[in-house]
Amino acid sequence: MDQPNQELVDAVFSMTIAGAASDHEAVELFLRAHPPEELAITGTYVIWRMAAALGQQLDPARTPLQMIHVFAQALRDNGGGPA
């Protein structure tokens, strides 16, 4: 994967925080300020990198795919909302 634009990475993290805080106006601001397809691509990069980093913290280490499965299961178990 190519390194994404840092401004988009910051926007993805900020939008995630706004979404977790149920700040729908802030999420809408991020969506209007950046092309949605670029936010989506950058979001996948962020998720992959986070999954890779977290997987390395476990013993035995887990792959990013295994960690994404764990994330998906946690979202299903939690109803998809912020913890």
Quote the CA–CA distance of 18 and 54 in Å, as a whole number: 22
Split at pLDDT 50, 70, 90, the class of 80 is low
User: How many other C-beta atoms are found inside a 10 Å radius of the C-beta of residue 15?
Assistant: 21
CB distance 8 to 42 below 8 Å: yes
Exposure letters 24-58 (e unless 16+ CB within 10 A, then b): eeebeebeeebeeeebebbbebbeeeebbeebeee
pTM for this one? 0.79
* Residue 54, pLDDT score: 96
